[in-house]
Amino acid sequence: MPRNFREKKESSESKKSFTFIDLFAGIGGFHTALHGLGGECVYASEWDLSARKTYEANYKPICPKLFEKDLFRGDITLEENRKCIPEDADLLCGGFPCQPFSQAGLKKGFSETRGTLFFEIAGIIKNKRPKAFFLENVRHILTHDGGKTFAVICRVLKEELRYSVYFKVLKASDYGLPTRRPRVYIVGFREDIPSARQFAFPDPIPLQITMSDVFGAACSKRVGYTLRVGGGRSGINDRRNWDAYLVEGKVKIITPQEGKKMMGFPDHFHFPVSDIQALRQLGNSVAVKPIQMTAANILQVLSDVRK
């Protein structure tokens, strides 16, 4: 099976329509990636009002039904928002926040995760039974509480929800984008998907743009820093620096327009919010290219199921 399915020439199969659910949607990194593969978003949720403005501004023109049918909802912990999630979506996606699991490792299944946002995802998977899921989180979730937290997550997904589970830490800079941004990707397939064992995460590809391309001028760094969530600005020589670069010998502070290029969003993507809010949103977002390449491999596994 080709590991970089999307890197092949477009085929009728790769453009086949599929449906997906976008949880903890942020500004829609999953939406951008999956729309590019021919997917239709049938439900999305995001509670942050600023991020909702950006999401609606960019996806209402390309996915009007989502908004016309009032399926772009807020807080997923509210029953009124959960009950309108459609059945039979092909793929459930979400970059869920990592909250501490106070009783991780005690083998209590859902009782261990109740009260965390992972439980909301687990409950939706249990009730809606999508063919597959694709989750993203910070890599430190693998070692949180001595690895007990992630063991609980895997046990719930495998033993209680009956999905196969694959996970791997991928860096955006290994998939064409000029930002490191290591994240753990968690992929699962429903137990009745026999081709699940064929799944593989995509192989790395060469860098497609550099920070010099991002700035449109010579930059001292080829690969940029990981954008921070709400990180305060610091000097270019500070070890915590994340937004200052030396461009043609002068210090340049990253802007949202440059940040979106680093993260793989298209040129037409825009922010109807302040620059501070936009940078915070980018810091919370998934990087588009590795998401798209991984999703393409998920779709290849699901291609026979969707026929």
DSSP 8-state secondary structure symbol assigned to residue 242 = -
User: Any residues with CB less than 8 A from the CB of 166 and at least 6 apart, and which?
Assistant: 186, 187, 188, 199, 201
What pLDDT score was predicted for residue 148? Answer: 85
What pLDDT score was predicted for residue 230? Answer: 67
Are the C-beta atoms of residues 264 and 258 closer than 8 Å to each other? no
Give the ranges where 45-147 is alpha helix by DSSP (H): 49-59, 64-68, 79-82, 110-113, 117-128
What pLDDT score was predicted for residue 15? Answer: 47
Which residues of the chain does CATH 3.40.50.150 include? Answer: 5-206+283-302
The percent helix, strand, coil of the chain (3-state, each to 5) is 35, 20, 45
What is the residue-level pLDDT of the chain in tens, covering all 307 positions? 445 544 433 333 344 489 999 999 999 999 999 999 999 999 999 999 999 999 999 999 999 999 999 999 999 889 999 999 998 899 999 988 765 554 444 556 556 665 578 888 999 999 999 999 999 998 988 988 788 888 989 999 999 999 999 999 999 999 999 999 999 999 999 999 988 888 999 999 999 999 999 999 999 999 999 998 766 777 898 888 999 999 999 999 999 999 999 999 999 999 999 999 999 999 999 999 999 999 999 999 998 765 5
What pLDDT score was predicted for residue 183? Answer: 94
What pLDDT score was predicted for residue 105? Answer: 47
Q: CA 163, 167, 173, 176: dihedral to nearest 10 degrees?
A: -40
**Rounded to an integer, what distance in angstroms lies between the CA atom of residue 74 and that of residue 71?**
9
Query: At the fourth CATH level, which superfamily is domain 5-206+283-302?
Result: Vaccinia Virus protein VP39 (3.40.50.150)
**Rounded to an integer, what distance in angstroms lies between the CA atom of residue 199 and that of residue 3?**
8
Task: Work out the widest C-alpha separation in the chain, in whole angstroms.
Answer: 58
| Amino acid at the residue 90 | D
Active-site residue flag, 98: yes
What pLDDT score was predicted for residue 103? Answer: 46
| Per annotation, catalytic residue among 84, 98, 154, 219 | 98
Kindly state the helix (H) or strand (E) to which residue 275 belongs, with its residue range: helix 275-284
Phi and psi at 91, nearest 5°, equal -140, 130
What pLDDT score was predicted for residue 234? Answer: 78
| C-alpha atoms less than 13 angstroms from C-alpha of 116 in its C-beta half-sphere | 20
